[in-house]
Amino acid sequence: MKKVSLFIDGISRESISEDTFYTYSPSSGETIAQVARGTRGDAKLAIEAAVNNSHSLKALSVWDRSRILRDIADNLERRKEEIAYAIALEQGKPYTAEALIEVSRAIEGLSNASEHIKWLETSVISVRDPTKRVYTIRQPKGVYGVITPWNYPVNIPVEYIAPAIATGNAIVWLPAPSVSYCGWKLMECIIDTDLPKGVVNFLTGPGNEVGDEIVIHPKVNGIGFTGSTTTGNIIASRAAGKDTLLELGGNGPTIVLEDAKLTEEDIKSIAISCFTNAGQVCTAAGRILVHEKLETEVISGLTTFAESIRVGESFDEKTTMGPLHTKENCEKMDQHIADATAKGAEVVFGGKRLNHFKTEQFYLPTVIRNVHPDSLVNCEETFGPIAPILTYSNEQELNELINKSNMGLSSAIFTNDINNAFSLAESMKTGIVNINDRTNYWELHIPFGGISGRSSGKGRIGGMEVLKQMTDLKTITVTVKKGEKI
């Protein structure tokens, strides 16, 4: 039995309550770790530690912070197989096909932040008054609360923790309870550097208690959260007055225009966006809007790909898709498929769980056609391995399908007409639009986030944008007194 403790003010410790909970493998059902169940009191201690030690991180030069991030990346690299093992064990994704890749991306994210922070430049501003000199600097916000999900339990935390360290913010981090052991393995890599004591604090426990305390505490200056739209809206309300960086749900449409000349690689990219990480990705192609002339071609290609997927246990080297992480996700898949078929949809492939494994969380990749616009799969995020296909015959029908969902994270457009590509891309109400590629194409340095007026969050992670988000821009003016020289 593995043990996971809290890490507050440089010390590994148990919860004030001394209570614990357990995490389980979605693949085998076995108990993975006994985890300290943090409380509001533990969260307050972690926040106080972050506040009291924040000056020590802020005082480090940019080059020193950059070096620390490289050291964390080196630790991840040395322990890559061990950490990928933890991900496959506790999150459930295949070790060979996906978990190792996640660790590699986390290493890249740390390396990116270590370099980008060196070039976060500000300006000297020309002004009318000849006795004035005006310049700007960027300073850390202070303490950043980071609350992360279970679908990418190492890479997504890095998307917040790396830029927070780079910009000099102290951190209080709460991973999703079900991947607490994965979180602790990353935390070990952070601890094993000369990062000042108490500037990164690690909590485990329920979000509605520990997470809520982080969100509402007056000494926390900013909140970074990736997760569901429902929880994100609660956080936005509870964190009123704080800087919030919220990456929420998505139901990004993949749009196939009439003029598209689809290749085998195009179909493959759409399928990948549906089935990667068993569809448990906020940028997944949750709905595929296809011109009626191309419906048969798209259905055939996606079905062929789905049939080629090897659903299996996380440590089987032949597995290309593992179990869903939670029973609730399986139930949501059940509900969305039942709703779609009740409204006239046809399951072309999959549509059911596999019952010959140790748990009931294995789902066949699912291709479904004739989906009604009012179906849940078109209006909500499914977060499972599903490719729902809706057809349209004209621009008005397409626009109606697009606007059935209020989410605005990512989208994809397949077309061979450059005018159509740019016209539709610029009108799409999503933060990312990928032309002739999958909805979940993203490199870690590219700005990533939702769009105003939609329910997929606010702010940007990725590259330089997140460094700006986690800092305050301060303007300083200097008056040169008469007779003095500059």
Q: At what angle do helices 62-78 and 155-167 cross, to 10 degrees?
A: 160
102 close to 323: Cβ distance less than 8 angstroms: no
The closest of 415, 414, 445, 448 to 430, measured between CA atoms, is 448
C-alpha separations of 66 from 10, 72, 165 in Å: 20, 10, 9
Find the catalytic residue in 159, 282, 295, 381: 282
Q: What are phi and psi of 3, to 5 degrees?
A: -115, 135
Contacts of 28 (CB under 8 A, 6+ apart): 313, 314, 358, 359
Q: What is the Cα 461 distance to its own chain's centre?
A: 9
What token pair was written down for 395? Answer: 């621009």
Task: State phi, psi for 207 to the nearest 5 degrees.
Answer: -65, -35
* 247 part of the active site: yes
Catalytic annotation present for 282: yes
State the catalytic residue, choosing from 98, 159, 247, 313.
247
Crossing angle of helices 100-116 and 62-78, rounded to 10° = 170
248 exposed, middle or buried (CB, 10 Å; 0-12, 13-18, 19+)? buried
Query: CA–CA separation, 120 vs 467, rounded Å?
Result: 8
Residues with a catalytic annotation lie at: 247, 282
